[in-house]
Amino acid sequence: MSSKFIKKWEEKDSSGFKGALRPSVPLKSKIELATRRIEAQIQYLDSALTRFTDRDKYLFSKVVDAYSKDQVQRARIFANELAELRKMANFMMNSQLALERVVLRLRTVTQLGNTVVNLAPAAKVLQSVRSGIAGILPNAERELEQVGVMLNDIMVEAGQTTGTSPDFEVASEDARKILSEAAVVAEQKMKERFPELPTLKQETGFPQDFGFTP
């Protein structure tokens, strides 16, 4: 690793007139700040999932109660609402797990200094998560947008220092792997966290399955 990069990585740049007035923040500190901001959004998503879980338990009890009283239409209304809630919960769980993997990437960067290679897929994952939660959690969407800008600026700065640039094809493939791994884990966690809906009878007497598959 070059001495120029080490200086940029760990030391404030106070050279020149502008540097003396406002020393630039080291890359390492910038990445650590981005990591903390993403971790805050992971906690935010976790709190939202807890609220969804509580609502799920309430709706589930309503479905079971209506079904036990042969109120099929009423049970169907609650079941439909429950299914929509679980779709959003599934996406939020995917997002949370994907962000956890981004944090692992960023921590690797702080340890190895392999900035551009690790940040490029992380930034793409953030972009995917941000676009997906925009209609559900707008505050988280705005925060992740700002963190994404931070990561892009860090990549530009690191690239100028090391003379390297991201391979966007490789970054896209790595991002897809991160999102796929998160989806697999989320599917299992959804099954553990949210019980299957009972099979309800249609008003015609034929059974109808309201089970939800995340």
Q: What CATH code is carried by the domain that includes residue 44?
A: 1.20.1260
Residue 12 half-sphere exposure toward CB, CA atoms < 13 A? 9
Please name the residues in contact with 79: beta carbons below 8 A apart, sequence gap of 6 or more.
63, 197, 200, 210
Give domain status of residue 7, yes or no. Answer: no
Distances (CA, A) of 111 to 25, 41, 130, 191: 18, 22, 26, 35
Tally of structural domains, the chain: 1
- Domain that residue 79 falls in: 26-197
pLDDT of residue 117: 81
Give domain status of residue 4, yes or no. Answer: no
Separation between Cα atoms, residue 90 and residue 50, nearest integer Å: 12
pLDDT of residue 15: 52
- Asked if residues 45 and 95 have their Cβ atoms less than 8 Å apart, the reply is yes
Give domain status of residue 2, yes or no. Answer: no
Three-state DSSP state, 13: strand
pLDDT of residue 206: 34
The pair of structure tokens assigned to 63 is: 């479905």
Give domain status of residue 20, yes or no. Answer: no
| Per-residue tens of pLDDT for the chain, all 214 residues | 555 555 556 666 555 444 444 457 788 889 999 999 999 999 999 999 999 999 999 999 999 999 889 898 999 999 999 999 999 999 999 999 999 999 998 988 866 567 788 889 999 999 999 988 888 889 999 999 999 999 999 888 887 776 777 777 888 899 999 999 999 999 999 988 888 876 655 443 434 444 434 4
| Largest distance between two CA atoms of the chain | 82
pLDDT of residue 89: 92
Give domain status of residue 115, yes or no. Answer: yes
pLDDT of residue 111: 60
Give domain status of residue 134, yes or no. Answer: yes
pLDDT of residue 124: 93
Distance of CA 105 to the CA centre of its chain: 13
Give domain status of residue 113, yes or no. Answer: yes
Give domain status of residue 31, yes or no. Answer: yes
pLDDT of residue 203: 44
